[in-house]
Amino acid sequence: MLYRQARLTAQREALVELGVTADRIYVDHGLTGTNRARPGLNQALAAVRKGDTLVVPKLDRLARSVPDARSIADELAARGVTLALGQSRYDPADPMGKMFFNILATFAEFEADLIRLRTREGMKIARAKGRLRGKQPKLSDKQQKELGSE
């Protein structure tokens, strides 16, 4: 939990350093970039207007798959909104910029795939050692027996 909070603080600070005012920072709590349906992302996309710039500290904070990154970038471009990845502005009309964007999106997707793979491997090992038992019951054994005897 503290690690997640520290990461969020670092991202907020990076956005402020990039010129984003605190009231224009949109956050998704408990969700990762792998999920396209995120309330904070939806709010940010709804808030930007033609001529605005959507600023993200890194592309992997926007999307963790190539199709999602492309979709969001294309949607923004169609609406006349500039996408800034850190200090860099993404220009969909620039072939080099487009290629670089796609490479970054590919690496973000690759990183997300590696995280999922390592998580599954860790869970498999923990399960084999008896350390991963799933969700624990809310009722104690005594409470379950009392309910069962009625």
Alpha carbon distance 10, 108 (integer Å): 19
Query: Packing angle between helix 95-128 and helix 66-78, nearest 10 degrees?
Result: 140
Residues 37-72 pLDDT 10s: 788 888 999 999 999 999 998 888 888 889 999 999
* Residues 129, 98: Cα–Cα separation, whole Å: 47
Q: What is the pTM of this model?
A: 0.70
| Sign of the alpha-carbon dihedral angle for 36, 37, 41, 42 | positive
| Region 2-133: CATH code | 3.40.50.1390
Side by side, which strands form the sheet with 53-56?
A: 53-56, 82-85, 88-90
Domain ranges for the chain, please list them.
2-133
Span 76-131, pLDDT tens digits: 999 999 999 988 899 988 999 899 999 999 999 999 899 999 999 998 998 888 88
Round to whole Å and give the CA distance between 99 and 67. Answer: 14
pLDDT given at position 71:
92
